[in-house]
Amino acid sequence: MSRSVPTDKLGDALRIKPGSKVQLDRFDAGQTLGHDKTSAQKVEGELEASLTSLQERLWAEAKHPVLIVLQGIDAAGKDGTIRKVLDAFNPMGCDVTSFKVPTPLELSHDYLWRVHSHVPAKGSIAIFNRSHYEDVLVVRVHGFVPEATWRKRYDQINDWERTLTEEGTTIVKFFLYIDKDEQKRRLQDRIDDPTKNWKFKSGDLPERALWDEYIAAFQECLERTSTDAAPWYLIPANRNWFRNLAVSRIVEETLDRLDPQYPPPEPGIDKVVVD
C-alpha cells in the first residue's frame, strides 16, 4: 500500500538521505502519497500565492542566491515543471538556463565552466534545466569521456556545490522520475499530437533504447551526490499534478527557511512627504 504523507512532510519523504541506496526499479513513479488531484490543485493555489510573496521578499532583500536543478530522463516533465513553478515568480529575479549539447567553446573548457557562469546572484533564483549532472549521465552512457574521468566528477561536483553553499547559495535538486511505460506514452503522444510534434526528435528513440544504462547512471549519481548541503529530491513524476505539488511545496519550504525580509527603509522615511 502506498504511504500517505501530508503536504508539509513531502520534502522529508522525498529527500534522498546522503549515503542511502537508490533503487529506481522499486520506486513507484505513479505514487501520489495519499494525495488526489482535486485537493492537490486547491493546495497548489495556496502554494503559488506563498511562492510569489517569498520570491518578492527574496529579491527585495538581495541576500540569498537560490539554485534549483532539474534533471530527468527525456519526457520526464522538466519543461512543464518550470512552466508551473515559474508561474508564481516575477521573471525579474529568476533565470532559466537550459543546458544542451555543449558547443565547441564550452567543450574547450572544463565541464563546470558553462554552469558556473549561470549560478544565481544574491536575491535571484536560477533554474537549471539539465545541468552539470549531464556530465555524469549522458556523458557516461555514451562514453564521451573515459570512465576514469567521469568517475572523479561525483566528488568534484560535491566539492563545487559545497563551495557555492558555503559562500551562501541554497541548492535544491529535483530528479523527476517517470517509468518506462510512461515515457513510451509521452513520446508516442509527441508523434500523434501535431501541437507536440516539435518536441519529438528521432534521436529520442535510440536514447530510450538505453533506458537501463540511464537508470544505472541516475542511480549512482543520486547516491553519490545527494548531500546535506545540496540534497536531491526524488519526485514520482508519472502524474503531472503530483509532480507540480511536490516540487512547488519543496521550493516553498526551501525559500521559507531563508525567511527573506524586506530591507529596512531609509532612515527618516517616515518624515518624508511627497509634494
Q: Are 144 and 99 in contact (CB under 8 A)?
A: no
Closer to ligand AMP at the Cβ: 106 or 223?
Answer: 106
Separation CA 241–CA 247 (nearest Å): 10
CB of 152 to ligand AMP, least distance (A): 16
CB of 76 to ligand AMP, least distance (A): 10
Residue 179 binds which one of Mg ion, ligand AMP, none, with CB within 5 to 8 A depending on kind?
Answer: none
- Of 139, 87, 85, which Cα lies nearest the Cα of 248? 85
Would you give the binding string for Mg ion spanning residues 31-70, x where CB under 5 A is met? Answer: ----------------------------------------
CB of 187 to Mg ion, least distance (A): 10
CB of 185 to ligand AMP, least distance (A): 17
Closer to ligand AMP at the Cβ: 138 or 216?
Answer: 138
Which string of DSSP letters, residue by residue, matches 138-203?
Answer: HHHHTTSS-HHHHHTHHHHHHHHHHHHHHTT-EEEEEEEE--HHHHHHHHHHHHH-GGGGGG--TT
Closer to ligand AMP at the Cβ: 145 or 258?
Answer: 145
Closer to ligand AMP at the Cβ: 62 or 160?
Answer: 160
- Of 233, 257, 258, 259, which Cα lies nearest the Cα of 246? 233
Exposed / middle / buried, residue 226 (Cβ in 10 Å: 0-12, 13-18, 19+): buried
CB of 28 to ligand AMP, least distance (A): 25
Q: What residue ranges bind Mg ion (CB under 5 A)?
A: 74
